[in-house]
Structure formats: C-alpha cells, structure tokens
Amino acid sequence: MGRYTTVQAYADNNPNMRAVDYAQATGTAGGAASSSSASSRGPLVTEKVDNPYGSTAGAGSGEFHVYRHARAREMARWEKIRAEEAEARAEEEYRARVARDAEEEASRTEKRRRKREREKEAKRRKRNMRLGGVGGGENEGDNGDDDFDGGGEFEYTPIVAVAGNSDGNDGVVDLKSPPEKDDAVPFPNDGSFLERMKRELADRR
C-alpha cells in the first residue's frame, strides 16, 4: 500500500480475497432467490481490522514513528494535567496560609489595641487622681489594668482625702453623697479647691 493511498487494494492471489457473486455484493436478490437468502439481507459488508500502532504484524516502516509521536503527545497531555493540578493545589494552600496569617495578625492587632486602650485609661485615671490631690506612688493604678475592658466613656468623680487610717479606706469620701463626718473638707465652687487641697495635704505630710 502506498504512503498516501486511501483505498486498500488486494492482488488477485491474496488469501484474504473472497469470491462473492454480484447479487450478494450488491444486496439485490434474483428471481429464484428466496427471502431467506443472504442476498436479500442487503449488501455484503466486510469487517476490516486494522493493526494498532506498534504492532509488528502488518506494520509498515512508518507505523512505529506514527505511534511514537502519538504516544509523545499523550504523555505531554498527561504531564500538563499533572502540572496544572499541582499548581492549583499550591495556589489553594497559599491562599489558605495567607488567610490564616491575616486572621492571626488581626487577632494580635486587636490585643495590642486593647492593651493600648487599657494603658491610656490607666494614665487618664492616674492624672485625674493626681489633679484631685489623691494618689500614692508612681505605680498606683497599674494593678488590675489587664482586666479592664475599656468599654464606655470615662466619667471622673471628684474625691477628697480626709484624715483616716493608714490603709486609706476611711480616708476617702465621695462628695456626691452628704458628708458623714464633721471634719470633711467642703467643696467650694470658686475654683480654689485644688490649691486648697494641695496646701492641706502638704501640711498633713
């Protein structure tokens, strides 16, 4: 068979050739033929079997190269599929890692923000207490800052220090309630309370 031929031809002495009559080949039954004859069942269709690529039975000199190129294309296709799958898996893992890192960073940022709010609130309370003339050392007011939730607006309540015991429980009076002791310092409204309290504390020390 030639290289560019599309119709396979057989020689007369080829053992694959079979002799059939015209009626059987065309499927036209003759007048004497019965309805059950082979010629009445349509034209004869022969089954053609082609040897697959790589087979040595009946393969020409170029069949192996056709098979080799076809296999190379198929292997390249599978390699591309595997590479795309690996790339998609790596991209998915990267996105998951980025999302996890972003969540952890947001959590750390929120913790630092709450800590800064607690520190600012503690400094604000210490400053207000110092302006009110109440407060001991530098570290006063730091205890319990970790449990401060930081919610709500801070409202300063004026307090004054009066003579009392050493622990300070009886030495602090809330001016919003009426004073229960006769020696409580009055709260004037002329703006001289702060200076007066400073002088009182200086005299007592």
Does residue 158 contact residue 175 with C-beta atoms inside 8 Å? yes
Q: Is residue 115 part of a domain?
A: no
Q: Which domain holds residue 184?
A: 157-205
The phi and psi torsions of 160 (rounded to 5 degrees) equal -125, 155
Q: Does residue 14 form part of some domain?
A: yes
Is 61 inside a domain boundary?
no
- Domain membership of residue 13 (yes or no) is yes
Dihedrals φ, ψ of 48, to 5°? -105, 125
Give, for 190, the enclosing helix (H) or strand (E).
none
| Percent of all residues in the chain with a pLDDT value above 90, rounded to a whole number | 25
Return the structure tokens found at 197.
Answer: 């309290």
pTM for the predicted model, two decimal places: 0.32
Is 114 domain-assigned? no
Residue 119, domain member (yes or no): no
Domain count, the chain: 2
Q: Which of these, 192, 191, 126, 201, lies nearest to 160 by C-alpha position?
A: 201
For the stretch 75-116, pLDDT in tens is: 999 999 999 999 999 999 999 999 999 999 999 999 999 999
